[in-house]
Structure 1
Amino acid sequence: MKYSIPVAYALWAISGFGALGLHRFYLGKTGTGFLWLVSGGLAGAGGLYDLFTLPRQVQDANMRYDAQMMLAQGAASMQGNRYGSADGLSYRRADSPEKTILRVARKNAGQVTPGEVAIEGDLSVEDARKELDKLAKSGMAEVRVRQSGVIVYYFPEFADKHPSDFVDLG
């Protein structure tokens, strides 16, 4: 519901030139509406103030209304769509799988598993493994096996020091 200046002025006039504060209730200002109601529009001074500022108050109320509608539409269109909206505009660009992998590697001192990448990048584990294999083939990463048997992709440029918890396959 958009607010109207003529309606606001009509309510202002009907309520004793602002003394009852009906126009403030209409504009969503319930706190000052009650104040105007119990104080007679601050003994008429508030009603006089509203006479001159009512167009701006209506504009502010319409801006608040528009912001609430945009938030409601944005929340509805973002349901199930993390990076975009129903109208095709992107609010946040999804990172490439490679960038996600490198971010995880930096965070984990160079050690990355497909599961970690899948969680961080909204990828399947198989897609994460394929992307990690591509980086390993290009020489960016090494495939290593932890003593526990877990396959880890190791990025030396993000490592603090040479880890000793790997099994030597060579």
Structure 2
Amino acid sequence: MGKRLLVAYGLWALGGPLGLHHIYLGRDSHALLWMLTLGGFGAGWLWDFWHLPGWVAAANGAGAAEDRGGTVPELSTLRLAGQVAVGMYFGLVAALGLPWVPALVAQPLAVGLGVQLVSSVGDQTTEAPSILAAAFLASLLFQSRVLAVLPVSVAASVAAQRHRRYKLRGVPRPRLPARLYHLGLACLAFAAPLACRGLCGAAGLLSTLLTLPRAAVELLLLPLRLGRLLAEALGISGGSPLRDRGSGFGASGWSQRQLRAYEV
């Protein structure tokens, strides 16, 4: 069934940041990238407006007979910049959402997956093992620090560009339900660690909020307790000093009467 440009533009306008127009055109890698970055951080969604006619023509079979076997795609600085940016984005998400996973494992793996995703957009792809090898090697060199996500992403992107190639033609495409299922699993795998970290943070915030009323009551009672301690220190309260003083006066008065009786 042929793809219509008007439908593609409608999906671009309604759900472009979620990649609905890419799903319609069979560009699942591009759709997944847009889902995880909300339309390429907004800029990619606007950039799609000018390329929709060419993508619709390609989806309808324009240029399908062209033989590109053995040829290497031209170097694209835009794709290279996207690989570096998305690789860094995936690395930071892994650092935030997977703090219990060793950084030597989580960071290069996430960066490599992000670079691989950008590399597989459109009619191009690359070798995933080469990307992961470059990412893990760069991560070892920089000791997996948070700021090391930039050189790790650059190394993985350079490896992806060195092994870039065109996708094989004639590969049967899965049906739409299977494609949506795979896209949903990928989004769930990306969002689950962040959701878990967010729930843990929300639980900690809730426990802190529950302790605020008790802390407020303790703060309000603090002046009263300080006044009571000060009064006890000065002997104003308690009554024992007055009783002791009164008994002393009584004893001194009884001694004077005894003295007068003795003189008489």
Task: Please tell me the TM-score bracket, short chain as reference.
Answer: 0.3 to 0.5
Asked which structure has the greater CA Rg, the reply is 2
TM-score, normalisation: structure 1? 0.36
Which structure carries more relative contact order (alpha carbon 8 Å, separation 6+)? Answer: 2
TM-score, structure 2 as length reference: 0.24
Give the structure with the larger strand fraction: 1
- Choose between structure 1 and 2: higher helix proportion: 2
